[in-house]
Structure 1
């Protein structure tokens, strides 16, 4: 990903542009967390600062979450908890449900890292509840995987596999292949613990393939670590050490300090058996440099333990005792906390499972008691039709098709002389009756103000409550100042209005009306409410789809501009600013390429170094402005002399140029260079301070070669330079081609 964001978005001049920039910061931060945590954190900090500046609450929340997540990935758990707690306060206050799920889930991750499983489990349950309450399941597969981790840590491998496989299936169902690598590596870990090494290896390999495909460096490091654990269980220490070192290399690249220390300590366990004390001491020093004693008790304890063992091995018992005492002190503290936390976790899981079973039994009994036998057939039919409508409308993102499909089914369920759906424009506080049908005829679109005191639609939206009227003549005063009829002919008597809400945000309203009194009952209201959930989600999806299509188009246009800009920048980086011909960098690359081509083809290659005679005297007497002009004129003349696209003229130094001519022998280069000298002479540029002429002249040294493995570019250029020296010594204004006699 391109880090230089200013090449993608120009300096923000207004609030809208600033918000776009914030959203891009968040997007980049999310992408970078897989292979550059520190840069990911930096982008989150930038986004947070901008969001605070323009009071963009969504940005503040998202950037706080990203900061907290990066801090967790770097291993600073206490700081991560502080940041995420600030984020959840903002998310809850502003009803940002998607952010709440992300934050609760990540708090669970932090507490798993701290081996506090009861808190972790509680946060995962909170995340699931927010999703269920707001009718979306965007993170379900992530949370299922994380609950699986808790069961695995508690030794319940069968239960953990159940959650991991569910997570894998959920992520595959939503086509998130990148995430699939995580449950796969966790499944491998369980199989390794169960000594099913073949399965463990296969699942690790599957995870690694996905991680490499998406350049997920954290995932790659975990895969190598998984391979090493399998190797160690099979007593393959050499292979284990190799995989651990691969994991360490990737962990350092991505900046995952916690994981880096873990790997260093695992490497040391193998090195201890080989008594590789120097390397062990180096690893321990790296680990201690990373960790702070107060924040990383369990890891620091392991470091002290290894120090004690090594010092004992080399006979320094007093030093070994000092580290052993430090280790024991920390272990006592950890043991008490760890035992208590594990018991709490097991008890919590047991109680939660029992409560869930009891709740299911209660619900079943309650449904059975309330359900009347004579309503079964009708209820089943209604549910089937609602389900059919729901599937049809959720499967399309075209709002027009959604509304037409709903109307085609609604008359199967109730008497609907009038049926309408309004779409809410929050920014303008208006409701647009996009779809309004009376007696099977589509009516013109109406616009209703949210604060209209005479509108049932406006009342329903303002109060976020349904309206159920059996006789409008008697009941209208509960809702509006005067009776309101949208119909063109006969007036409706029975009305239902229901708000369309997704994630606690209004998206619109649905109404069904009849000419008859008491046309609807509580069953009808229930059906409309059930349908409203599907309709709200379908409309929201359609709106998101339209917004996404627009965003994709904008990004594609931005990407096209970026590619064009990068192409221009590449060209500029290879062109000499004064003369417009190739610069030294372009010359080096070009010569390297044609050298290799000529060597493979066994063909001749020629170069010529061109020097303006007595140019220093010209500059000193005519001035630098005229001097620069002369260099540009000479460059243009030399470039026009080379007529083949395969040749190159480049500025070699201050007043020196160099020509590269593949497939050009001695006769060819002689003709070309002679033409260069003649073309400059024909310009008749005055040079009264030249020692050989009263006009500007050139000296050229050239060399030819058929490149082979015994030759090198440096010697080749040196020959052309020697030839130039000979041309100057012979009186200048001439060409000299290198020969062995000259070189000698």
Structure 2
């Protein structure tokens, strides 16, 4: 079968899926061709798998081809360029950069400007990813010097060049260039290239602080990428959109974009970029206060990073094994022994890294147990005790302290210090100690010092206990609602004792402790408010009882009023079995109106007060209900078993009332009429019927001449 290499390579750029199927058909019939022709087809297959997102297959084909010693200089350059592209996509930027440099060297030997153009373009692109923008501009300018390529690839190079210009401060020139590129690509209707151009424009706008315009460009680019369904492009675009949303403070949108990017990278099996994405997601959840999700994503990042390292080491070991076998066959024993030693060293390193991963996992598990234990604490002392119990299992130290800014923010009050095993409390320190603590509080960031000597024992106790001054220190701020209220610190007397991982773990530890302290303060405030609320309720209840008592009593005589009578009747009904026999007595002063008119209302009130005291002395008992019924009328209700005693008391009352005017120093005579009625009580309404009947007896006594008792 005849085939055109240039046509197939061109078709790969626009319709890679269709092109790769045709190339594979040609390769199946290439058994009669020479090796160079077969490798040309194999290169097109590898390039097609790269363009369709199958990066592992593309890398495997590249490694296979580069291990073939019969490749020409041109073929080797192409394969190196392809492998570098795969490594770049997978996140191995430095390794990709080295391979591109090797390709440039070979292209210069062949004087191939077309290859130099592509290679310098790729070097510029990867320098952008490494944020080496000046170096990137230099590569793009060299690419322009060697430009005889043209087409959409030519315009794509200018997209990356524009972004590099923005990185070195030439934003106006960059925006002018990218607008021109976008216009040309839109005219040529290249969906994927238009997506790249819009993405580059968005990155430039974001770099100059025009985030909203950048997001608009990213959305247009996403629309174009969705048409091509290239997941790698969508994943990287989502990550860039997330960075812009994060800069705008839209944490939810940023999280969604990072999650979409991570899902796409997982589907593409780009291990290193997946690990970075988990780390960025963890940092994002840390800023939003979701410590559980933060820990989970950091755990995934650690595990995936370790898996990547193991995979890389395994690949290196496999290559070394192959080299050892080849040298052994060629009797190059010295080289083989050297390679074997290197292999053994790498095996030892792999064991160490595996052990380090296990330790890291154990520390994260310990942090999780610490978080769960904090949820059960009831005091700051419990929190500090848990800190000194769990922290040594995660991070070693010789000194541990917790300090808070004073109200005037001029002192650090150290509430809890563990120094060389001794517990110190409530130590106040001026601004000279230590400046790192204040820097951590003001910057709201973890501070790590690896070789600055400071003797905590002399600062706190005025003497050295023999363990030596601290050389390594870490300070993490205690944050509450984005405000720094204090600092936690650990110290060790060894230089450079703490690693980057220790710093990240200590930062998470500080977040957990800050959350527990904040929760404790809030619970303490709630408990205080509950006590105050309880005291208020008790006072209100006492006041309410007092008011209720006052509302039930007649202030002049100290006897129950009608309200007290109603309450007493209700209580009687609830406490006394029904039916029962009751006796009701109604008393009324005779001619009281005439007394008031003659002697005045003041003496009338004095007379009522004396009469009330007299009635209270004779009738007030535990099971008697004595009431001032109204005006000069009084009421006594009792069980019928007291009817005889009540009758006797009423007889005595008739005589004693006559002497009340003597007590008032008045020359007048006062008498009282009394009506008594006995009846059966079955319901509350019967009380008022009995009172009415007793009142009729009182009326009868009045008619019969007053100053007497009428009974029925």
Greater RCO (CA < 8 Å, at least 6 residues apart): 1
| TM-score of the aligned structures, taking structure 2 as reference length | 0.48
Structure label with greater radius of gyration = 2
When normalised by structure 1's length, the TM-score is: 0.46
